[in-house]
Amino acid sequence: MTAVLIPTESIGKVDLLLGQATMLAVDRWDEVAGMIQEAMGIVLLMAAAHPSGRPVDVPGLASMCTMDCVDQALREVQSWDLALAADLPDLARLRVLLTDVRRDLNGTAARQG
């Protein structure tokens, strides 16, 4: 049985993406903002427990909207091996939160457009 490596750089990217999403959602007073903040808290703990040995960057981060940040963060998290759940116990909750946020943001965009 081989051990699954923890994707520390990917965790760092998700940390940056959700940090940006949190800043962009600061003026929202709905469930979406709360879910983004909860996801950010989960990722902060993951990043603190498993820091990247190299600097992490997300190209174009400053120009991303909330939906772009959440979409990219969800793609990163979905690329992680589910066997990591033993080392990252909140992995399933993070995936659910990001999926729910994306769904709710899509619904908001559809109602506005």
Confirm whether 71 is domain-assigned.
Answer: yes
Domain that holds residue 106: 8-112
pLDDT of residue 1: 42
* CA dihedral sign of residues 34, 35, 38, 40: negative
CB 73 within 8 Å of CB 95:
no
Query: What is the tally of structural domains in the chain?
Result: 1
In a domain, 3, yes or no: no
The average confidence (pLDDT) of the chain is 91
Instruction: Identify whether 2 is part of a domain.
Output: no
Has residue 67 been placed in a domain?
yes
Query: Is the predicted pLDDT of residue 46 greater than 80, yes or no?
Result: yes
- Nearest Cα neighbor of 88 from 58, 26, 56, 44 is 44
Instruction: Determine, yes or no, domain membership for 43.
Output: yes
Rounded CA-CA distance 28/36 in Å is 11
